[in-house]
Amino acid sequence: MIPRPSSVHLDEETFALDPEIRLSADPRLAGVAAWLRDAISLPLTPGEGGLRLAIDRSQPPDGYALSTAPAGIEISGGSAAGVFHGAQTLRQLLENGRLPRARIADAPRFRWRGVMLDVARHFMPVADVLRFVDLAAYHKLNVLHLHLTDDQGWRFEVPGWPRLTSVGARRSSTMQGARQHARYDDRPHGGFYTADDLRQIVAYAAERFVTVVPEVDMPGHMQAAIAAYPELGNGFAGGVRESWGISTHVLNVTDRALDFCRDVLTHVCSIFPTELIGIGGDECPVDEWAGAPDPAAVQPWFTALMAEHLASLGRRVYGWDELLSRGAPRDAVIAAWRGPAPTVAAARAGFSVVSCPDISCYLDYRQSDDPGEPTPVGTLLTLDDVYAFDPIPPGLTGEEAGRVIGAQVNVWTEHMESARRVDYMTYPRLCAFAEVVWGTRQPESFRARLESHLSRLAAMGVNFRPLTGPRPADARPGAPRQPRDLDDRLEELHEMTADLRKAGLV
Ligand code: ACM
């Protein structure tokens, strides 16, 4: 099983699961029961003496106990989410209609077990997003951070701002491979979600106990919106960005631009029920604010206004770690990405923090040095490297470590033009991450468990990277590489986080 449960007793001997098995479930578990019926393709007609689903408040909130025997199967969880996790474990135990006799007690280490999906660089149709959520939930992750906008595309409708999608959701051409090679495909790319699409994603995720945390990146990474509404920018009159890298074309700070951001966030809050709303805040160059009395003060001022607006709607800021030196409100949750230092800085400064250092958690980074890897970029991040990741960096006190509410892997899609490609980069590394963040690592058994797990993923049609390396069809000829050296990247990260040292945060 992956992630491995905290405590497992399994018999070698298996028994056939009666396809006519009856189901009795607490009424609060009707949703879990309906999901399980579909997941294991059995009618599970109501009745006593077969499969029992129950809430047992003595279990940890997300935890569960599972027992299987020919006489009956029981899953009791501290909450409906706990029962759901137990049902996912049952699904993994079930093979060719047979179950082992088992007694399992299980609960996660972290409450934020996340994955970020970038649907801005490449749009992903709703059905593929639902499948992505389903697979994340299969691995007991519970947060989907949805990166909805960037320089290269705006991906959802906002009432009153139609050009965001008629203009901002398309680009005429897309860079192929790493920036240094300056290659383009000269083919249009685009797509966006309606409010109903997003509601469908939220509802589907909720049925799987996955919270969708939306992100609208601001005030940088905004070129697509500025291409749609030039009055939001600082004189930029170009289109949606076709190349990778960071645009210097950022929002201006007129009332119109502030009202735009407030409108967008109000709309986002009407769709996404989560308390945390992502406002990005990463990589915002100040070049275009050179006329301001203090360009460095602009983003902190802007962040405070957006935080105030979200607070008026009963929400809180989720933002990248640049916000630590750029006006993060006290109740913000920080996504710490620029190497391990910002996790330490955020926790020491008293913020709740989600650990996602690029060198351990960025699934766009290359999986091996095999020349057949598709567009190898970033530092080497093998399956074993992900498995070795500890969300809590060394040197934190117990109290500081307690502020690390979890971790997430981030799937940036510059070099992933399809769901198949996303599968390849995400799996099996997400399997390793799931065990890290559930907190039950057992390196001695991981490889063997993964091998049988991969046959389940193959049966589900997941285009994971084989443990033996890329297949010829996984290559991306014409989209050239730019692999990075870890030492160089660590040096670069040191320079990139000078703001944290200047602010006395590390
Ligand atoms: C990021 O990678 N710019 C958050």
Atom of ligand 1 nearest to the CA of 412: 2
Tell me the β-bridge partners of 106: 64
- CA of 410 relative to ligand 1 center, distance in Å: 9
pLDDT of residue 1: 96
Q: 306 CA distance to ligand 1 centroid (A)? A: 20
Cα gap 338→221, rounded to integer Å: 17
The structural domains of the chain, ordered by start, are 7-106 (3.30.379.10), 112-502 (3.20.20.80)
3-state secondary structure string, 344-403? HHHHHCCCEEEECCHHHHECCCCCCCCCCCCCCEECCCCHHHHHCCCCCCCCCCHHHHCC
Nearest CA to ligand 1 atom 1: 282
- Enumerate residues lining ligand 1, CB below 6 A: 282-283, 320, 337
Query: Which of the listed residues 148, 216, 320 should we mutate to test ligand 1's pocket, taking the one with most ligand atoms within 8 A of CB?
Result: 320
Specify the pLDDT at position 204: 98
pLDDT at res. 148: 99
The residue whose CA has the least distance to atom 3 of ligand 1 is 282
Question: Which residues 6+ apart lie within 8 Å of 190 measured at CB?
Answer: 123, 153, 169, 170, 171
Supply the residue whose CA is at minimum distance from atom 2 of ligand 1. 337
C-alpha 341 – ligand 1 centre gap (Å) = 14
Burial 233-252 (b: 16+ CB within 10 A, else e): bbebeebbbbbbebbebbbb
Q: What is the structure's pLDDT at 16?
A: 98
- On whether the CB atoms of residues 34 and 12 are closer than 8 A, the answer is no
Radius of gyration of the chain (CA): 23
pLDDT of residue 375: 97
The amino acid sitting at 284 is C
Ligand 1 atom nearest 280 alpha carbon? 4
> What tens-digit pLDDT sequence spans the chain (506 residues)?
999 999 999 999 999 999 999 999 999 999 999 999 999 999 999 999 999 999 999 999 899 999 999 999 999 999 999 999 999 999 999 999 999 999 999 999 999 999 999 999 999 999 999 999 999 999 999 999 999 999 999 999 999 999 999 999 999 999 999 999 999 999 999 999 999 999 999 999 999 999 999 999 999 999 999 999 999 999 999 999 999 999 999 999 999 999 999 999 999 999 999 999 999 999 999 999 999 999 999 999 999 999 999 999 999 999 999 999 999 999 999 999 999 999 999 999 999 999 999 999 999 999 999 999 999 999 999 999 999 999 999 999 999 999 999 999 999 999 999 999 999 999 999 999 999 999 999 999 999 999 999 999 999 999 999 999 999 999 999 999 999 999 999 999 999 999 999 999 98
Q: Are strands 170-171 and 189-190 parallel, antiparallel or unpaired?
A: antiparallel
Per-residue H/E/C for 180-200: HHCCECCCCEECCECHHHHHH
Residues with catalytic annotation?
150, 221, 283
Q: What is the pLDDT of residue 449?
A: 97
Which atom from ligand 1 is nearest to the alpha carbon of 283?
3
